[in-house]
Each structure stands twice: as C-alpha cells, then as structure tokens.
Amino acid sequence: MKRGRPGYDQQSVLRIAVDVFNKHGYEATSMGSLAEHLGISKSAIYHHVPSKEDLLRLALEEALGGLESVLMLDGATSGAPNDRLEFVLRETIAVLVDRLPFVTLLLRLRGNTQMERDAMARRRAFDSTITKLVSEAQKDGTLRRDIAAATIIRLLFGTVNSIVEWYKPGGELSATELADNVLAISLEGLRR
C-alpha cells in the first residue's frame, strides 16, 4: 500500500516544511505549525514522515547530496586545477539555484543538534576539497599566491552563498548568467 495522504506526497510535504523552516526557523517550527501550513492534521503528516527531525534530515541530504555530487563529476576530477575550480563553482551555483530552499536551510544551520553538526561537518569537508583545488591552482601559477587559499574560499563562498538571500529563480537572471557573473567578478581578481 502506498504511504501518504491524497494531495501530498513526501516530497511536497518536505518542500513546504523547508519553506516554513526557512521562514520561521527550524527550532521554532512545530509539527502543529507545519500541519497548519499544509492544511492537514498533525497525524496526517506522520503518514509522510516519522518526525520533524526526519524532515530536516531529508532536506539537508537534498542540499548536501547535490553539492557533494558536484565533486564527483568529470569536470571536478580531471583537468587543470583552475578549470576544475571554475567547473566546481559553476556546478555549485547550479545546485544552489536548483535546490535554493534546501541550500538556504543548510546555510542557516546553527549546530544546535547532532544532525546539524554532522551536516556542518560535511559542508566543511566540501569547502576543504575546494580549498585544495585553489591551492593546486596557486601552485601551477594560474591563481595568485599572495592570498591564502582558505581566505579565497571564504570570500568566494561568501559571494556564492549570498545568492540564497537575493536570487529569484525564474527572474531576469538565469542560473548560467548568474554563474558567469559570479565567476567574472570573483575569479578575475585571482588570476595571474
């Protein structure tokens, strides 16, 4: 028998929950509040997911799984370091745009629960991998060496992560144009 209630499936419940978490904060959102936003009873939510924590786990996996998958693509694993860095940044922006509410939730975590701390550790591992790419590009002479790789990554991802605060999918700026603009502004000052 198929699990769930008519009108909603797990993915639609998750999307609405993530919107509510982003608007009110995960901690401040109760299952009652989610039920109200969904227009169903609290018990009906449990036909889709076992708990609020499970909604958070699913949402974080949507964000982190997308970001981590970028690092396994051919463009991220082969070629010159500078080309791989540009590829990873473009694909990261594409994931951010495609999964905007989920990445927004990830970026707003405060580490209040073990699940949040685990997600933040995965995010730091992602950043560390990209920092190594920057170091490789510095060593081969394509990126300037007078700025620490960790500083470059913080500045790059400060820019990339700010997209969640202002970018509107479906607006004037496509995801590709957004990536072009971010890379033009961010990387031109780093190239030798």
Query: Tens digit of pLDDT for each residue in 140-172?
Result: 999 999 999 999 999 999 999 999 999 998 899
Give yes or no: residues 136 and 166 share one domain: yes
pLDDT digits (tens, 9 = 90+) for 93-102: 999 999 999 9
Give yes or no: residues 98 and 143 share one domain: yes
Binned at pLDDT 50, 70 and 90, residue 187 comes out as: confident
Instruction: Decide if 2 is inside a domain.
Output: no
Here the CATH number for the domain that contains residue 28 is: 1.10.10.60
pLDDT mean over 122-139: 96
Give yes or no: residues 79 and 35 share one domain: no
Give yes or no: residues 104 and 158 share one domain: yes
Report pLDDT for 1. Answer: 36
Give yes or no: residues 88 and 137 share one domain: yes
Domain of residue 160 covers: 60-188
Instruction: Decide if 55 is inside a domain.
Output: no
Q: For residue 88, what are its two tokens?
A: 């990873």
Instruction: Decide if 159 is inside a domain.
Output: yes
With 70 as the cut, is the pLDDT of residue 5 above it? Answer: no
Report pLDDT for 189. Answer: 78
Give yes or no: residues 38 and 118 share one domain: no
Give yes or no: residues 39 and 66 share one domain: no
Give yes or no: residues 28 and 68 share one domain: no
8 Å CB contact between 163 and 103: no
Here the CATH number for the domain that contains residue 177 is: 1.10.357.10
Instruction: Decide if 26 is inside a domain.
Output: yes
Our count of domains for the chain comes to 2
Instruction: Decide if 135 is inside a domain.
Output: yes
Give yes or no: residues 182 and 122 share one domain: yes
pLDDT mean over 113-139: 96
Give yes or no: residues 93 and 29 share one domain: no
Report pLDDT for 192. Answer: 63
Give yes or no: residues 34 and 102 share one domain: no
pLDDT digits (tens, 9 = 90+) for 34-88: 999 998 988 889 888 999 999 999 999 999 999 999 999 999 999 999 999 999 9
Residue 157 to residue 92: CA distance in whole angstroms: 10
8 Å CB contact between 18 and 102: yes
| Beta-carbon contacts of residue 105 (< 8 Å; ≥ 6 apart) | 18, 21, 22, 26, 56, 59, 60, 63
Torsion of CA 47, 53, 59, 61, to 10 degrees: -110
Q: For residue 151, what are its two tokens?
A: 């500083």
Give yes or no: residues 40 and 99 share one domain: no
